[in-house]
Amino acid sequence: MAAAGSVAVALALREAGALRFGDFVLKSGRASPVYIDLRRLVSHPRLLRQVADLLFQAAKGAGLQYDCVCGVPYTALPLATIICIENQIPMLIRRKEVKDYGTKRLVEGTVNPGETCLIIEDVVTSGSSVLETAEVLQKEGLKVTDAVVLLDREQGGKARLEECGIRLHSVCTLSGVLEILQQQGEVAVEMVEKVKKFIQGNVFEPVAQNGPAPVKRLCKELSFSARAELPGVHPLAARLLTLMEKKQTNLCLSADVTSSKELLQLAATLGPSICVLKTHIDILNDFTQEVVKELRTLADQHEFLIFEDRKFADIGNTVKHQYEGGVFKIASWSDIINAHVVPGSGVVKGLKEVGLPFQRGCLLIAEMSSQGSLATGEYTKAAVQMAEDNSDFVFGFISGSRVSNKPEFLHFTPGVQLQAGGDNLGQKYLSPKEVINKKGSDIIIVGRGILAASDRLQEAEKYRKAAWESYLSRLDVLAED
């Protein structure tokens, strides 16, 4: 971009409020000195058109050859629209979720398999949103080799995309914009240094690989804290990932007890060692709403989430009532619920209507740890697709292994014991190392292995350390003594 053009755009973005500096809290809870919100461009038509032209010129200057254009939803959609109208280029629209009526397509427009599609994006941080869009387009038979972005935050996104076979072309970089604004007296030197330090401390490093990386696979094993910062991560997932990193625990306790007193004792004693406490509230012999109020207090005190293992599996209207009403009123106190995908998308939509206002999240059962389970193959694929179609509510899976390569989704794995084995009722047990390191899961769910111990806290700490060390090993990080 020419020097005069760089100055004009940087100042215009600042004036439009698309670039703000100060103290901001991201949805993960992390403090940031810079906030970038290019959605504001839609209220500034002249600037919007100027930015669209800069994106087109960047593609032209790079000599890119393409047949159609797709903007990453949602902020880049108006930019892609202007580019296509001004230059008579066919456009495609990627949906974030499949509608249950009409054509039920994820990509709208005329798709010609074999053609090359150029991706347009507003901001790139980790590259995750571009990769998601590329994956959808590639499933339609399109080629994706390049993406053009207005602002590269220089936090590793370009390297990640290139490792996955996509070249990133940026109109400007965050450091370049900072330099311009400093020279123009718009931002103090101290703030510029503060932002640069923040960027350097939050870089998504690509993993060195032998040979080319498969395009359809996300190419970096991100830390929990880095995943919490991804643009498309569910707020509840961001909160969970952040507390996991803070407490250094990826242990979920399966508190399958029948006494309210024992349930609350477990929460009070083991709360500091766990990230999630899983309940079967309907097996309590003495349930009252006062019990879940006390449990909620303990969860806030010890910073863990509550997961009611209800396994919803009915039509949408029925699960709505089961979730919000009845004796248990699950939505009022449980952060997380889960559901089978057997009933189809209606089960998620029914639960979503109740859960979204409470800022709750859902896990889909993609695999089960019992011998002879039918939750395999096409069933698992259908669960993953349903999660992707409802990522505003679904943030992960109950599974025996990693079933999605998208780092925004978390994987919870039951059937974990320190020693692998099984019981006489068909339950299969894997070790924390097997589950986290080899299977690629994120959180181990442990019940009997802890509850049957004479010293439950000591045993919980063994599981916590084993799971956390396996996670660090997966990142190739040496755990400190």
Q: What residues are annotated to the active site?
A: 311, 314
**What are 466's two structure tokens?**
């084993």
Q: Which amino acid is at 383?
A: A
Question: 220 by DSSP, 3-state: which?
Answer: coil
247 Cβ partners below 8 Å, 6+ apart? 272, 275, 303
Residue 36's Cβ-side half-sphere holds a number of Cα atoms within 13 Å equal to 16
Question: 93 by DSSP, 3-state: which?
Answer: strand
For 438, phi then psi, to 5°, come to -90, -40
- From residue 54, alpha-carbon distances to 18, 51, 84, 191, 457 in Å are 17, 5, 13, 27, 59
CA distance 35 to 37: 7
Q: Which amino acid is at 268?
A: A
Task: Using alpha carbons, select from 65, 59, 97 the residue that is nearest to residue 80.
Answer: 59
CA distance 448 to 458: 14
Q: Which amino acid is at 399?
A: S
Q: Running DSSP on this structure, what letter comes out for residue 326? A: T
